[in-house]
Amino acid sequence: MRSERGYVAGLYARLDAERARVKGEYDAALLGNGGTAVERDAEVRALAKEAKRLDVADNGLCFGRLDTLSGEHSYIGRIGLFDEHDEYEPVLLDWRAPASRAFYVATAANPENMRRRRQFHTRGRRVLDFTDEVLGRPDGEARGDAALLAAVDAPRGAGMRDIVATIQAEQDEIIRLDHPGVLVIEGGPGTGKTVVALHRVAYLLYTQRERMERHGVLVVGPNPAFLNHIGRVLPSLGESDVVFTTTGGLVPGLLVTAEDGPEAARLKGSLAMLDVLAAAIRDRQRLPEEPLTIELGGGTARIDAPTAEWAREEARASGLPHNEARAVFTEIVTYVLTERAIPRIGKGWLTREDRTSWERLRAELVKELAEDEAFTAVLDELWPVLTPEALLAPLYSSPERLRAAGGDPVLLRADGEAWTVSDVPLLDELVDLLGSDGSVDRAAERARAAETEHAAAVLDSFVGRRDMMDDEDHLFATDLLDAEDLADRFVEHDTRELVERAAADRDWTYRHVVVDEAQELSEMDWRVLMRRCPGRSFTVVGDLAQRRSSAGATSWGGMLDRYVPGRWVYRSLTVNYRTPAEIMDVAAAVLAGFAPGVRPPESVRACGARPWSRLVTGDELPAAVEEFVRDEAGREGTSVVIGPPDVPGAVAASETKGLEYDAVLVVEPERILADGPRGAAELYVALTRATQRLGVLHRGPLPRALDGLVGIGMPERVGGRPV
């Protein structure tokens, strides 16, 4: 024990020395030590990232040791450390390194050329004790699960913890899987699929850092509470170039304020909405019912239906997005108007044979039209510049527009701008269908003009100084640059972190995307995500049995084959590390009722506390909920009340997806079960959030699937049901 404590203490000494070195270099970089501003900024960022990597290693820096058959041994930890005299000689192996793999997968039957695995139990920087496991002998010890059981039995804190010290063999295989396309990880409650996906991200960033870190990783979760829950895992593993968002956050700046009903969500999630959107755009490309007149060349010009129809056909045939095709529409209309106006202005003396005069007059008329507000207003009426919001909001609030686009009346709503999560993929689709509305281009032009004006002022000052000097041998800035060239020198380098830049940019593309609770995503959601990752590198996490959304997946192939045929693989997790056997037995009965072909994951432990139920009246319910909250407040760990929205203090089961609590109180399961066709899946989710204690309060008859609960404060039970 003394030698191990001494070795780990030495590792911490190396860690502290490395931190001091990086801090010194970071401070020097801040002061500036040569190079361009961009180079200095890159150096500062790299050193800041390295400092973060070293800062996460204090807790559990070294958690194990591997001894080979030849007597050599390696220490395994959160990060890699090297001998200061030989940088190629590791004194601590990063858990992601190939040489560390045996720590997670070696067994007595398959020792991976290892003789012994040692797991350290630490507090702070001190080794308290360790557990040894002898490998490769028929009479050898079975793999010690002390560390794993201690981790899953420990009270839950504010967020998800990493499992770097307790990764199991089936999890490690998935984390290190070498597959360039889409990996689907399916597992029931408590199987650790989310944390496995996050460790896979850390592994990919370790093995493919140069390819991945310039564009970063996107993690999509079901709700903000879930993202807060998992948000510390990757930083605890030293990885920070990750954007976390929900599907509602995939369009930057959009505020989601409403919620769709099941049928509206199903319709909006269907690919059939592509036809509705295309038709809605075509409906805004109008023909005049009566000829429209404008002043041109001292006379009147008419834009009639045949002219607008020809222009519309040409614009549509161009294949350009709507806003960009407006230029084609404008060009055709302008051509027709000028062709008709030139003979009138020429009064018979000007013919096409006089090409120079004809084209000169045309150019004057084109300029007149371009500056004519009345002509612009006509164009806006026939072919308006549209933003996604300006197209979709009137579509939802107008029965006539919706009917013209072939949309279902279910999509109608009073406030067209009351955006929902299901609107996000439609708005994102419209960005591409409509194209730029010119606002970004105009802003860029204004910024560029300001930069050029500033640069010109600097040039003037240079010229003034040169005029005051008599040294003709001096080379001045004005001898080399004009204002446009010098303006480039004044463009500020974007100093935002990658995460900030990526989250604010709708057109940002990622090297890898993690999608959690993926069974809830619609067909339209997947189109958004595929645009965000052109390389089609995904880790998809979900459980089809827990699907709640009517627009969600009924099979993985149904969602993925359209985009990555033959490029996605499936892996399942079968062991439940979170839910104790007593609780899982109850949840399994619910699962059997709505998904009889799905096998529930097998729990690795029992907690010793039987789940209970209690029959209450409406008047007794609030006090019973308060009693649960009060009792749990005196215990270590976390708790939650899950129930219908009118139960004080309760949250919906959908809001707890992916989360875990020491204690859970499910209120009125009979109402949850009756809430639509996926109510049973919702109840299954609610029951499987608990890691230690589960209670149920019910006012109506207890659902038959919950007959296994122990009644508390109730009359005698016959056949598991109250009498």
Binding-site residues = 187-194
Q: What is the DSSP string of 601-618?
A: PEES---S---EEEE--T
Residue 117: in which H helix or E strand, if any?
Answer: strand 114-123
Residue count of the chain: 723
Task: Tell me, rounded to whole angstroms, the distance of Cα 360 from its chain centroid.
Answer: 56
Spatial CA neighbour of 606 closest among 692, 684, 665: 692
Q: Which residues lie below 8 Å from residue 451, measured CB to CB, with a gap of 6+? A: 487, 490, 491
Q: Which of 443, 441, 393, 444 lies closest to 420, judged by CA?
A: 393
**Closest of 373, 417, 380, 374 to residue 284, by C-alpha:** 380
Rounded Cα–Cα distance for residues 341 and 399 (Å): 41
139 backbone dihedrals φ, ψ, rounded to 5°: -95, 15
With a CB cutoff of 8 Å and minimum separation 6, the contacts of 347 are none
Residues 51, 53, 54: CA angle, nearest 5 degrees:
65
What CA–CA distance (Å, rounded) separates 129 from 62?
13
Q: Parallel, antiparallel, or unpaired: how do β-strands 602-603 and 690-698 relate?
A: unpaired
CA distances, 48 to each of 24, 51, 52, 207, 514 (Å):
11, 5, 6, 20, 25
Task: Report the alpha-carbon angle 569-571-572, nearest 5.
Answer: 155
Answer whether 629's CB lies under 8 Å from 641's CB: yes
CA 14 to chain centre: 36
Q: What number of other Cβ atoms are within 10 A of residue 261's Cβ? A: 12
Listed as own residue / partner, the contacts of 229-232 with beta carbons closer than 8 Å and 24 or more positions apart are 229/159, 229/160, 229/658, 229/659, 230/159, 230/160, 230/194, 230/195, 230/198, 230/516, 230/658, 231/159, 232/159, 232/160, 232/161
CA angle 273, 274, 276 (to 5 degrees): 60
Pair 61, 78: CB distance under 8 Å: yes
* Cβ(379)–Cβ(284) below 8 Å: no
CA distances, 435 to each of 74, 188, 385, 388 (Å): 57, 42, 10, 9
Backbone angles phi, psi at 416, to 5 degrees: -60, -25
Dig out the tokens for 230 from the structure. Answer: 């998992």
Cα(first)–Cα(last) distance of the chain, in Å?
Answer: 61
Q: Give the E-state strand segments of 517-610 in sequence order.
A: 538-542, 568-573, 575-576, 602-603
What residues are designated binding site for ATP?
Answer: 187-194
DSSP string, 646-685: TSTT-B-GGGGTT--EEEEEEE-HHHHHTSSTTHHHHHHH
The CA distances from residue 497 to 213, 215, 512, 532, in Å, are 12, 11, 18, 19
Which residues touch 122 (CB under 8 Å, ≥6 apart)? 8, 60, 62, 63, 128
DSSP secondary structure letter of residue 705? G
